[in-house]
Amino acid sequence: MADHLKLGRQGEQLARSYFLKQYYEILEENWTQGKAEVDLIVYQDGVMVFVEVKTRTGTAFGQPEDFVDAAKQNQMQLAAEAYIQLMSHQGEVRFDIISILINGSAEPQLKHIPDAFWPGQDE
């Protein structure tokens, strides 16, 4: 497996562990609908949360969350709409980002950004 894929999987496992410690229910991991993918779908207190996990080894080109662009947000929205319909979810929906920096032997830095974006929203 390519190094960037290993890094991504490592970040997703850290995010999964984080949500479990925060008492979220993990509904799906790497859920796809067509070409759209959602890294994690979690649930807590009636809120279904669609999560993009971005993992990087440095910030020379920006923070990990800076790489969740409008195209990615729109792809997540398409996947979320399909999943909501499939599950007949009637409650609140949120789009979060988990930003992770893994730098050598230091402890990974995880930042949870709730309500990070709403796809299609004008900036």
Angle at 6 between CA 58 and CA 61, to 5 degrees: 20
Residue 54 has pLDDT above 70, yes or no: yes
The Cα–Cα gap between 31 and 4 comes to 19
Residue 33 belongs to what domain range? 3-94+102-113
Q: Is 122 a domain residue?
A: no
What is the mean pLDDT of the segment spanning 71-92?
94
Residue 120 has pLDDT above 70, yes or no: no
The Cα–Cα gap between 27 and 79 comes to 14
Q: Is 121 a domain residue?
A: no
Assign 60 to helix, strand or coil: coil
Q: Is 43 a domain residue?
A: yes
With 0.75 as the threshold, say if the pTM is over it.
yes
> Looking at per-residue confidence, does 121 or 81 come out higher?
81
The Cα–Cα gap between 79 and 33 comes to 5
pLDDT at 44: 97
CATH number where 40 lies: 3.40.1350.10
Q: Is 48 a domain residue?
A: yes
Domain count for the chain, please give it.
Answer: 1
Mean pLDDT of the chain: 92
Q: Is 120 a domain residue?
A: no
**Cβ pair 36, 76 in contact under 8 A:** yes
Q: Is 123 a domain residue?
A: no
Count of alpha carbons within 13 Å of 82, Cβ hemisphere only?
Answer: 14
In 1-123, DSSP assigns E strands to 25-33, 36-44, 47-56, 92-101, 109-113
Q: Is 46 a domain residue?
A: yes
